[in-house]
């Protein structure tokens, strides 16, 4: 968990166990890896259309629902034209 300290106030991508992809600025976290994101949005992938971005604003993700957290390079991310990306949505993790 202490590795998340390096990501505070940086742009991160969170993938949840139900297959959602959320991008935002990491503002904080706790001992159970609940995270607080600001300026966040969900990226909804589709095989038929480009990526839809749903604005979420200030958002809390429960730690037990997080599969992955990674830092995004804001400059590289800004250069990607999400409207041209086609992909199957990530499937839910089943235990």
- Tens place of pLDDT per residue across the chain (95 aa): 468 999 999 999 999 999 999 999 999 999 999 999 999 999 999 999 999 999 999 999 999 999 999 999 999 999 999 999 999 988 888 87
- Tell me if 67 is assigned to some domain: yes
- Tell me if 93 is assigned to some domain: no
Total number of domains in the chain: 1
pLDDT of residue 94: 80
- Tell me if 63 is assigned to some domain: yes
pLDDT of residue 7: 96
- Tell me if 35 is assigned to some domain: yes
Pairing of strands 11-16, 52-61: unpaired
- Tell me if 54 is assigned to some domain: yes
CATH of the domain at 23: 2.30.30.100
Range of the domain at 40: 2-77
- Tell me if 55 is assigned to some domain: yes
pTM of the predicted model over 0.75:
yes
pLDDT of residue 65: 96
Q: Is the dihedral of CA 36, 54, 11, 67 positive or negative?
A: positive
């Amino acid at each position: 968990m202490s590795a998340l300290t390096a990501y505070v106030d940086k742009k991160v991508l969170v993938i949840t166990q139900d297959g959602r992809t959320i991008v935002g600025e990491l503002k904080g976290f706790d001992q159970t890896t609940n995270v607080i994101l600001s300026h966040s949005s969900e990226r909804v992938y589709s095989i038929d259309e480009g990526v839809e971005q749903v604005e979420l604003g200030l958002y809390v993700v429960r730690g037990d629902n997080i599969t992955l957290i990674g830092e995004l390079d804001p400059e590289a991310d800004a250069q990607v034209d999400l409207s041209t990306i086609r992909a199957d949505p990530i499937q839910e993790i089943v235990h």
